[in-house]
Amino acid sequence: MTATLSTRDRTPRTRGENADLMHVTIVGSPIGLVLVARSALGLAAVLLGDDGDELRQELRRRFPLGMFAGADPALDRVAAKIVALIDEPGRAFDAALDTRGTPFQQEVWRALRAIPAGTTTTYSDLAAQLGRPRSARAVGAACAVNPIAIIIPCHRVVARDGDLTGYRWGVERKRALLQHEASARRDR
DNA sequence: CCTCAGTAGTGCC
DNA sequence: GGCACTACTGAGG
């Protein structure tokens, strides 16, 4: 089927170029700091890290022309939901997303959202699922630039041999997320 | 354990 | 259009 993108479709060169305003906040969580950015269209970034300045730099790298403002009530609610989702991975998250990427990236990110908490898939399985069985490496590259951690659960993709391979925000964080999701599922 | 080739998508020139 | 990157994978040493 043809991908009908519910979010804005941008070419690589224009990614992040619109200079719209985003509200930004940084909150603490069991896995470190979480930067949350929200545009008028929805959640635009969830970045993980240990240092607030580094998180702000990463946000700037991803949205070179973005204009950033402090927290607002809608953003606070979304941030609280995200932290809750880290604690209870099975929880639903229904807020709108403003994902910006190439059509291929959008496809990959959409597929990632269908991976249930407590389970994993592999880069090659995901590629096959998208009808591109030889694109495992490209899938990995798309995961690596996922702008919305946790909500787009790229941490649930592992190598075919079970190795965690990589995680934009640290393999140790990926391991922690997966272990917590596995145990949360057992507890149900 | 290692290297290597084949591979698709992306970004920079 | 070219070229050098990847969070890949399977084969071979």
Range A73-80 average pLDDT: 95
pLDDT for A71: 76
| Average pLDDT over every residue of A74-90 | 96
**Cα torsion angle, A96, A41, A113, A171, sign:** negative
Does the nearest atom of strand C lie within 7 Å of A47's Cβ?
no
- Which nucleotide is closest, CA of A125 to its C1'? C8
Average pLDDT estimate for A18-33: 92
DSSP per position, A100-116: -B-HHHHHHHHHHTTSP
Q: Give the confidence band of A8 by pLDDT, cuts at 50, 70, 90.
A: very low
Taking the model in full, what pTM does it have?
0.91
Q: What percent of chain A has pLDDT over 70?
A: 89
Instruction: Name, in order, each residue with C-beta under 8 angstroms of A92's C-beta and a sequence gap of 6 or more.
Output: none
Q: Closest nucleotide (CA of A156 to C1')?
A: C7
User: What per-residue confidence (pLDDT) applies to A55?
Assistant: 97
pLDDT exceeds cutoff 50 at A109: yes
A1 vs A26: which has the higher pLDDT: A26
CA dihedral A81, A84, A88, A94 (to 10 degrees): 0
- Predicted confidence (pLDDT) at residue A82 exceeds the cutoff of 50: yes
Start-to-end Cα distance in chain A: 35
Question: Nearest protein residue to C10's C1' (by CA)?
Answer: A160
Q: Is the CB of A171 under 7 A from strand C?
A: no
Residue A141 CB lies within 7 Å of the nucleic strand C: yes
Q: How confident is the model at residue A18, as a pLDDT?
A: 59
Q: Which residue is nearest to nucleotide B8 (CA to C1')?
A: A135
Residue (of A15, A150, A6) closest to A79 by Cα position: A150
Predicted confidence at residue A185, as pLDDT, reads 72
User: Å from A12 (CA) to C8 (C1')?
Assistant: 22
Cβ pair A34, A82 in contact under 8 A? yes
**Does residue A166 lie within 7 Å of nucleic acid chain C, judged by its CB?**
yes
Q: Strand B: which bases are under 7 Å from protein Cβ?
A: 6-12
Q: Is pLDDT at A111 greater than 90 in this prediction?
A: yes
> Chain C positions under 7 Å from a protein CB?
6-10
Residues written for chain A: 188
Average pLDDT, chain A: 90
Q: Å from A187 (CA) to C5 (C1')? A: 43
- CA to C1' distance (Å), from A169 to B7: 26
Strands laid side by side in the A67-69 sheet: A43-49, A32-38, A21-29, A67-69
pLDDT value of residue A87? 96
Distance CA(A34)–CA(A22), nearest Å, equals 16
pLDDT at A11 over 60: no
**Cβ(A83)–Cβ(A27) under 8 Å?**
yes
pLDDT in tens, A121-157: 999 999 999 999 999 999 999 999 999 999 999 999 9
Known catalytic residues of A are 154
Is residue A17 scored above 70 in pLDDT?
no
A147: its two tokens? 């702008």
In this model, does residue A186 exceed pLDDT 90?
A: no
**CATH class belonging to A103-187:** mainly alpha
**Count of alpha carbons within 13 Å of A188, Cβ hemisphere only?**
11
